[in-house]
Chain A
Amino acid sequence: MASKPEKWQRPRVVFQPDVHRGMLRGIEQMTDAVRPTLGPLPRIVLYDTTIGATGRIPELLDDGGTIARRIIQIRDRNADVGAMLLRNVLWTVREEVGDGTATAAVVFEATYRGGVRYLAAGGNAMRLRTHLDRGLREILNELDGMTGRVAGKEELTRLATVITREPELGKLLGEIFDIIGEYGRLEIRKGQGRFFDREYVEGMYWDGGLLSRTLITDINRQRTELQNAAVLMTDLEIEDPRDLIPVFTICVKAGITDLAIICRRMSDIAIGMLVMNRDKGKIKLNAIGIKTPGISVTAQRVALMDMVVLNGGRPLLQASGDSLRNVKLSDLGRARRLWADKSNLGIIGGKGDPKALRRHIAHLRDVYVSASDADDRGELQERIGKLMGGSATLYVGGITKTEQDYAKEQATRASDAMRGAMREGVLPGGGAALLGCRSMLQLRMAESVEPEERAAYHILLQAVEAPARTLLENTGHEPGEILGQLADVGPDVGFDVVAGQVTNMAAAGILDITTVVKTAVRAAISSAAMALTTDVVVHRANAPEALNT
């Protein structure tokens, strides 16, 4: 028999003004937990993991998204609704752009608090929301107008250093992104020593390796290399070695000496034929078998499609009824160099049509821009990166495993942010860009006719000030005085909290990534505006465990 719920767990229907007041309490609690992490001199939030476990050390957190994720429930159920709403907003921002959660939290809180005050005085929530949404669009347009491009090793290094707060890592990330570009392939691995290092690999590589170790010819490097190779690309399974004879015949007639057969599976007897032919065959054909990259049928098709654009030729697909018996010379792609080891396949200098390759990549970029799903975007970015002609590996150092884990996490977050900066540009940092929206908002407020419109711009004025105000408070400065100093300056000018002076933020290398600021502001204001229209809360009988999202 289930135990009787405690009083605070009992089902309840809550009405105004308790809804707004309760939610505001939760929003303030969540924001206060994240607030210390805003700025270049963040303070740490300690997450106590010791309850119920011995020998565990507390978790040190400086990332607003993770802090929010660790808060899974607040005992005050009305407050819990507000806190969990903000938690979801923060985690969404974190997932989408990797940063900006503290900015989102303080903007959300300022918007919601201002809205609650206005509604308590008798304002209309729906009209207010409409004007907040309109004001949000104007803020986003204003931010677009302030956006500048970031390019070149120096600018990228400065930006990476601002993001990571680690000069050595910033320098390497600046160099890496200058070379690989915004879509380039970057692997972040734990290194051997204390320091950071990087390595560049030429060509494209996939995760399909040799079908058998007997196909390895370079024993020392445990790989096989082919030159001026023909490439058969298929998702067929090759059981009967006789199926390979038409391909061999075509190659020999065409004077091809190296052949890579990329297929889903090859029988042992067929592999044996390749080895036998290589070692003792009368015909001069060095043929190897490689597993088609990808696990699912869709992933394999995608990989084959990319390879065909890169190498030329045509994929032989099971679904199209293709077989090896009707293969033609024009079906084979060509590669200047090709290598494979037990787990990877690399291609350098595919002989496909370069114009088709450029068109293909341009198409993938377009699809990337219009894709909304984070997983889809990740896959597209990986495909584009593979086709760009090289990849980089960043080795992160550290004395302890914890230090390495932290550095890897930091580098991963920074690389996501760098890609965003290169794609969408940068804004004057330190909250200056949002402060730069104030004059536009003041103008709109002065032109407002409806009370809700005037109230919305007033609320937004407070919201755009909130990140700079928090940043100043976090670094021990007096916000009122400094915000006053910044009232009459242009959007490029802000307050350098480290140097303690008013400065041109872009010139000082204090930059924020446009996509991060816009995502944070968009998520915060639109969600807060929506939350303001909530009039009734229904609490269930048993508060479910918060979802681990």
Chain B
Amino acid sequence: MSEPSSDNALPEEFPTDLVYALASTPDLETCFAARVTGLYQSKDGCQTWHTAYDSLGISDPLPTTSVVLAPNYDGETHRNVLSGVPGGVLRSTDGGETWLVTILDSPPPAVSALAMSPNFVEDGVILASTTEDGIFRSANHGSHWARWNFGLLDLNVFCLAISPGFAEDETLFAGVESGIFRSTNGGRAWREVELLVGYEPVISLALSPTYPQDHVIFAGTESQGLLFSEDDGVTWTQLGAAVITDPVNSILLSPDFAESRAVLALSESSLCLSRDAGATWTQVPNAPESMTAVLAPQGIARGATLLVGQMGGAVSLMALDL
């Protein structure tokens, strides 16, 4: 287990540091951890960490709620990385060595998540959800952002999930305080998705890697566990009610989900694995305590390495033995 060092004092509103989001290359050579105290980077397989905001020259911690790498990030020639901070989005084209700051419209919105088009290199589309101001969209690799909230009747957005077939179907989903919204035009307009009454808010979402064909959606709720739909959100089923009781902070699907049916669901007290699309669940043994974020850069196959972020700011590597 390694703990990214932080010399910065915590902002008043945060009692403790924590990891909001993780991003990594599949070989784990380059990893980023978005934390209350800023964005941290490791270039040695998560052994040592350093702040990625050195070049900004700021003394106060810059809480960073999200981080994403471009799909073609290779650590050498292609090194686009974007992070969400209060009031704006930072983007770097050199793997975090230098940053360009984009201020989002006033009053400063709190960015809750970033979602990048799988075709980002060509289409330049990236979306930022915020907890009070809805969704911002950029179609030029994050240089300029505009609010697109047509039909989004709830501007408290906690998470985004983008279709793997985004280049064709332009579909993405937003989990909000009152349920789920869907866009079928690249995030320019939103329509309500029917959800069981009382199951909101939705704080995490995941789409099947073959979503354009199977229309499978997983939704993590704050108080009602994990929901599953295989008809594009028309009907929902609650999964793992006996095992998953805490708020579901993160859902990961295996890249070969269509065959393996493997799903990971992270809640504060447990990391649960299903190999039958959520019908049955097992708690992953030896998972660290107080987990806040999880990433599976190598998929969810047996023996794959997971990155787990925790309260306090630590990031752990763990092998998936189940």
Contacts and interface: CB of A to CB of B under 8 A. Distances in A.
Interface string B185-201: 10011011000000010
B156 to A, nearest CB: 7
Interface stretch (B80-88, B145-153, B227-235, B314-322): B145-153
Contact of B132 (A184, A336, A355, A361): A336
Contacts of B154: 354-355, 357-358
Counting chain A CB atoms within 10 Å of each CB, the highest count among B147, B153, B178, B200 belongs to B153
Given A227-B106, A349-B134, A354 B191 contact: no
Given A152-B184, A349-B133, A358-B178, A228 B150 contact: no
Interface residues of B, number: 25
Given A337-B107, A354-B156, A389 B191 contact: no
A361 B107 contact: no
Contacts of B150: 179-181, 184, 200, 388-390
Interface string B140-173: 0000000101111111100000000000000000
A390 B149 contact: yes
A125 B150 CA distance: 54
A179 B152 contact: no
Counting chain A CB atoms within 10 Å of each CB, the highest count among B133, B151, B188, B191 belongs to B151
Contacts of B176: 354
A152 B188 CA distance: 12
Interface in B195-216: 200
Contacts of A337: 107
Nearest to A179: B189
A315 B71 CA distance: 50
A389 B107 contact: no
Contacts of A227: 106-107
Counting chain A CB atoms within 10 Å of each CB, the highest count among B177, B188, B189 belongs to B189
B185 A388 contact: no
Interface in A340-388: 349, 354-355, 357-358, 361, 387-388
Nearest to A310: B153
A217 B147 CA distance: 24
A77 interface: no
B191 A181 contact: yes
A178 interface: yes
Interface string A174-193: 00001111001000000000
A388 B153 contact: yes
Given A349-B132, A358-B192, A389 B184 contact: no
A389 B107 CA distance: 18
Given A337-B107, A355-B200, A179 B153 contact: no
A336 B155 contact: yes
Contacts of B132: 336, 349
Nearest to B186: A153
A152 B169 CA distance: 9
B153 A389 contact: yes
A178 B189 contact: yes
B193 to A, nearest CB: 11
Nearest to A351: B132
Nearest to A227: B107
A202 interface: yes
A389 B188 contact: no
Contact of B151 (A152, A354, A388): A388
Nearest to A388: B151
A354 B189 contact: no
Given A153-B185, A179-B188, A336-B107, A389 B200 contact: no
A361 B106 CA distance: 28
Contacts of B191: 181
Contact of B147 (A180, A202, A358, A388): A202
Contacts of A388: 150-151, 153
B153 A180 contact: no
Nearest to A336: B132
Contacts of A200: 150
Given A336-B107, A349-B134, A202 B149 contact: yes
Contact of B153 (A152, A336, A358): A358
A152 B171 CA distance: 11
Nearest to A349: B155
A354 B180 CA distance: 12
A506 interface: no
Interface in A381-416: 387-390
Interface string A301-325: 0000000000000000000000000
Interface string B89-128: 0000000000000000011000000000000000000000
B185 A389 contact: no
Contacts of B188: 178-179
A389 B152 contact: yes
A361 B147 CA distance: 22
A179 B106 CA distance: 24
A273 interface: no
Interface in A234-273: none
Contacts of B133: 336, 349
A211 B55 CA distance: 49
Given A354-B153, A388-B151, A389-B134, 13 more contacts: A179-B185, A181-B150, A336-B107, A336-B132, A354-B176, A358-B153, A358-B178, A358-B179, A358-B192, A388-B153, A389-B149, A389-B153, A390-B149
Across the A-B interface, the 6 shortest Cβ-Cβ residue pairs:
A354-B154, A354-B178, A179-B189, A390-B150, A227-B107, A355-B178
Interface of B: 106-107, 132-134, 147, 149-156, 176-179, 184-185, 188-189, 191-192, 200
8 contacts: A178-B188, A179-B185, A181-B150, A184-B150, A227-B106, A354-B155, A389-B150, A390-B149
